[in-house]
A and B are shown apart, each in its own frame.
Chain A
Amino acid sequence: MNPGLTLEHFFMLTGLFMAAVAFGIARNPDHPRRWGSTVFWLVLAIVIGAGKSLPHELVGWLVLAMGTLVATKQVAVPEFSANGAEREAKAARLGNRVLWPILVVPVLAIAGSFVVGSQVALGIGCLAGLATALWVTKDTPAAPMKEGGRLLELLGWTIILPQSLAGLGGIFAKAGVGEEVAKIVAATLPVSHPLVAVIAYCGGMVIFTVMMGNAFAAFPIMTLGVGLPFIVNANGGDAAIMGALGMLSGYCGTLVTPMAANFNLVPVRLLELKDDWAVIKAQAPFAAAIWIFNVVVMYACVYRF
């Protein structure tokens, strides 16, 4: 069932797109941070497009170079003009056809995921969506590059935070940071008390997820360091109940951390919000209500079943 199309092809395509964005910036003398932004997108194009064939150390240095450009504010987004009246007229002409491509993507991605891998299927879905969009709008192929590039520039550095965070998580794991933290929690809190153990475990899941941006990274650390020794071994709690609700508590942390860039910062940029914390603020009451529920259910059930 391998059509010869792999994820690598989509990485190359993405790299080419990013390189095109970089050249577009280089040719734009009005860009507020012309050369810094050009280098940023060009470097990212190389790392994404050819990352697999480059030595890891080189990729690491390139990532640090991008980080330096961001830290010194050499990457910026130009002002884009919007023409509302023109869009209104086009919308009236196209009618509901303008919605089709948006629906083509998930339909193909979902159907395709039963045949090829889900990421490849999504890639195919996006290309089919693009083809449909070009057909419906009768626009030139340069238009989606330009409009997509505009959106890509809006995203800026948030696009590489998740991968960088994966690196931080990996280094934390190799350095044994989690074990150290779990030891401190166990030594400072009276975790042998059943309720304290539940709160420390669920609370630790939140705090660790907030720090690392990823509940998956927090789960093994808190479970091995606090959950298993104190909830299961010391107090006879049920491991399945603890694990399920522990993971769901971690997600409450994901809702409130800017480290989870894909979920909390990317939409801020995509929706052109001024407040970087806007999405997190909208989600904070969700996180609190869901976390408390998890703790209550865990305490009520984990020692009983």
Chain B
Amino acid sequence: MIKLIGILLVAVGFGFRVNALVVVLAAGLATGLAAGFSLREVVAMMGRFFVENRGLVLPIVLMLPVVGLLEKHGLQERIATLMRRARAATAGRIYWLYQALRGGLSVLGISLGSHAGMVRPLIVPMGEAAAKARGELSEATRERVRAHGAASENVGNFFSDDILVAVGALLLVKSVFDNAGVPVTLEQIKLWSVPTALWVLVIGWWRYRALDRWLAKRKDGDK
């Protein structure tokens, strides 16, 4: 039971909104010690997993100089100019299209972009400019439009990557069943991932239509 102290710490940390990094490190230390490892062993484990997972920072950090330089030279302003000409574009439609495109490419095992590569430089400025073309945005409205842009990336990214090309998630599912001696084929897992991927498109359509309607009705920028 004492091993569960890490989970307790995470839950309490959530409840009190403690900084997530601090919670994670504390929970790791506590769990390792509670399970009977020495302090030095636990710290070494943390170090090993950290080094093994350094790859997670690369796509974000390497993109920052490119995005920063282009924004200095008016990337967002240029996108705004283009969006003013595209009258049919609304924030919701742009996000839905991006979600669908992101998901569609991910079916083929292609990762189109990320928050640093696509969302901040391209997708959110497009959504924001399209919303702005229909009236000034208050700070709160702007936040909401931006947050939905990030959501379109995540939702597009998550739910369709185990349909065609065998990548991480699919292989993990298969290997867990293989190790447990349960016969399962990749084709079966792929097939049963399809309904949810289609449903996600429907939900996206509903959510982004709701965003557009909310933007059309809001009171803060009726000018």
Residues of chain A whose beta carbon lies under 8 Å from any beta carbon of chain B = 7, 10-11, 13-14, 17-18, 47-48, 51-52, 54-64, 67, 70-71, 84, 87-92, 94-96, 98-99, 101-102, 105-106, 109-110, 113, 118-119, 122-123, 126-127, 129-130, 133-134, 136-137, 139, 143-152, 155, 157-172, 174-177, 180-181, 211, 215-216, 219-220, 223-224, 228, 232, 238-241, 243-248, 251, 254-255, 258-259, 261-268, 270-271, 273-275, 278-279, 281-283, 285-286, 289-290, 293-294, 297, 301
Contact = CB atoms under 8 A, between A and B. Distances in A.
Given A7-B55, A99-B78, A126 B63 contact: yes
Contacts of B37: 174-175
Contact of B20 (A89, A238, A239, A258): A258
A56 B50 CA distance: 9
Nearest to B188: A240
A91 B78 contact: yes
Interface string B176-195: 11001011110011111101
A224 B38 CA distance: 28
Interface residues of B, number: 117
B25 interface: yes
Interface in B145-174: 146-151, 153-155, 157-159, 162, 168-169, 172-173
Contacts of B48: 56, 59-60, 167, 170
Contact of A255 (B25, B121, B158): B158
A278 B147 contact: yes
B138 interface: no
B15 interface: no
Nearest to B95: A282
Scoring A167, A177, A279 by chain B CB atoms within 10 A of each residue's CB, the highest score goes to A167
A136 B72 CA distance: 12
A294 B68 contact: no
A67 B22 contact: yes
Contacts of A175: 3, 6, 31-32, 34-35, 37
A244 to B, nearest CB: 4
For the complex of A and B, 7 pairs with smallest distance between CB atoms: A147-B68, A91-B74, A148-B65, A59-B47, A60-B47, A175-B35, A240-B188
B21 interface: yes
28 contacts: A13-B62, A14-B62, A87-B72, A87-B76, A91-B81, A95-B78, A98-B75, A99-B79, A105-B117, A106-B117, A110-B110, A137-B70, A163-B57, A166-B56, A167-B50, A170-B45, A176-B35, A180-B1, A245-B196, A246-B173, A255-B151, A263-B115, A263-B154, A270-B116, A274-B143, A278-B143, A286-B200, A293-B199
A180 B168 CA distance: 26
Contact of B192 (A102, A146, A181, A240): A240
A239 B65 contact: no
B35 A174 contact: yes
Interface of B: 1, 3-4, 6-7, 10-11, 14, 19-22, 24-25, 27-29, 31-32, 34-35, 37, 40, 42-79, 81-82, 110-113, 115-122, 124, 139, 143-144, 146-151, 153-155, 157-159, 162, 168-169, 172-173, 176-177, 180, 182-185, 188-193, 195-196, 199-200, 203-204, 206-207
B58 A224 contact: no
Contact of B54 (A11, A211, A273): A11
A180 B25 contact: no
A285 B144 CA distance: 14
Contacts of A102: 66-67, 70, 75, 117-118, 121-122
A243 B191 CA distance: 11
A59 B50 contact: yes
Given A91-B75, A102-B66, A163-B56, A244 B193 contact: yes
Contact of B176 (A84, A220, A245): A220
Given A94-B73, A181-B4, A240-B188, A273 B147 contact: yes
B185 A240 contact: yes
B65 A147 contact: yes
B57 to A, nearest CB: 6
B159 A290 contact: yes
Given A139-B72, A171-B32, A266-B116, 10 more contacts: A56-B51, A71-B19, A92-B74, A99-B79, A169-B49, A171-B46, A175-B34, A239-B183, A247-B169, A271-B124
Contacts of B28: 164, 167-168, 171
